[in-house]
Structure 1
Amino acid sequence: MVFYFKARPEAGDYIIFMGLDKYENEELIKYGFPEDIWFHVDKMSSAHVYVRLQKGQTIDDISEGLLEDCAHLVKANSIQGNKVNNVDVVYTPWSNLKKTPSMDAGQVGFHNSKMVRTVRVEKRINEIVNRLNKTKVERKPDLKAEREDTNAAERAARKQQLREKKRQEELQRLEKEKQAEIRSYKGLVVSEKMTSNKQIASTSKSLQDLEEDFM
């Protein structure tokens, strides 16, 4: 089971989501998207919360309002973190999550600690948590299929881009050949290289001269 929440409207059309337990967390870790940003309460047990950014966006594009929604949601879903103030929430791109065979279900590390950021949540703000909970939707998605479908669509898009690139290159090649042919033809017909009828007549013997030579 995965829970989905809508971020505040003024932040944009963003979906925040988290797994029901550590097993769903494993699926989310395994089949995440490059646009996913992962959130967790630092040094405490908590839910794994994600927000999926728009294509082309990075962690630097997270607005203050969206960050606040994600941080409060992950704090509210930490048994220990929900009871105390001044909780640190860490967040990083999904691609930075590191999973090794020796780790327990739901446990992760980081490939690069410099890519991990921290935001402080001073205290729970019920207005934020309640607003998010009102948008909560439960689904049982096939995360593997979703990831495979997206991969297939991306491969098809790349192939189409490659075909279009080759088509443009072929059109450019044909145009260059056409222009080269035109320049070559012009070189053949320039006036300096042509002989007029008058010039031919001046250098040719008359019919009478030819007859006399023959005789």
Structure 2
Amino acid sequence: MVFYFKARPEAGDYTIFMGLDKHENEELIKYGFLEDIWFHVDKMSSAHVYLRLRKGQTIDDISEGNKVNNIDVVYTPWANLKKTASMDVGQVGFHNSKMVRTVRVEKRINEIVNRLNKTKVERKPDLKAEREAVNAAERAERKLHLRDKVSSI
């Protein structure tokens, strides 16, 4: 089960999602998109939360919200997540620690949490099929671009 949330349209109408448990987190790690930004409360057992950016956006285009007081939240692009066979279920590392950012959250803003919870939807997505569909669309776009490039020569 994956939980989906919607940010306010004025915030960019982002999709935010997280797995029900560490096994769902494994699937989200495995089939993430390049546009996904991964969030986790540092040094605490907590959910892996993802924010899906739109094409062309970067990690610099987002702002942070919070759920509890006085915590550090680490975040990095999905492509920077590193998973090895020796890691426990739901555990991740990073390919490049310089790409990992940390934000200190001093005070929980209940208004944000309550608003997000009102948009919560539970789904059982086929993450592998979603990822394959995105890959196929990207391949088709590259082929079209290449075909246009060749025909203009």
1:143 Cα deviation after fit: 0.2
Q: Which has the higher helix share?
A: 1
C-alpha distance in structure 1 between counterparts of 2:22 and 2:13, whole Å: 27
Find the counterpart in structure 2 of residue 35 from structure 1.
35
| Deviation per residue, 1:4-51 (Å, 9 max, x gap) | 001122111201000000011000000000000000001111000000
C-alpha distance in structure 2 between counterparts of 1:12 and 1:46, whole Å: 25
1:56 Cα deviation after fit: 1.4
Residue type of the alignment partner of 1:90:
V
- Any gaps of 5 or more consecutive residues in structure 2? none
Find the counterpart in structure 2 of residue 11 from structure 1.
11
SS in 2 for 1:44: coil
- Any gaps of 5 or more consecutive residues in structure 1? 77-81, 170-215
Find the counterpart in structure 1 of residue 138 from structure 2.
154
Find the counterpart in structure 2 of residue 140 from structure 1.
124
Residue type of the alignment partner of 1:154:
E
Find the counterpart in structure 2 of residue 97 from structure 1.
81
C-alpha distance in structure 2 between counterparts of 1:105 and 1:117, whole Å: 23
C-alpha distance in structure 2 between counterparts of 1:7 and 1:121, whole Å: 19
1:160 Cα deviation after fit: 0.9
Larger RCO, structure (CA 8 Å, separation 6 or more): 2
C-alpha distance in structure 2 between counterparts of 1:156 and 1:87, whole Å: 43
Written as runs of structure 1 = structure 2, the 5 A alignment for 1:52-201 is 52-62=52-62, 64=63, 67-68=64-65, 72=66, 76=67, 82=68, 85-169=69-153
TM-score (norm 2): 0.96
C-alpha distance in structure 2 between counterparts of 1:101 and 1:108, whole Å: 10
Share of identical aligned residues, percent? 84
C-alpha distance in structure 2 between counterparts of 1:25 and 1:142, whole Å: 14
| Deviation per residue, 1:133-185 (Å, 9 max, x gap) | 0000000000000000110111111111111111100xxxxxxxxxxxxxxxx
SS in 1 for 2:4: strand
SS in 2 for 1:150: helix
Q: Give the length in aligned residue pairs.
A: 153
1:123 Cα deviation after fit: 2.2
1:61 Cα deviation after fit: 1.5
| Deviation per residue, 1:88-131 (Å, 9 max, x gap) | 00000000000000001100001111111011111222111111
TM-score (norm 1): 0.69
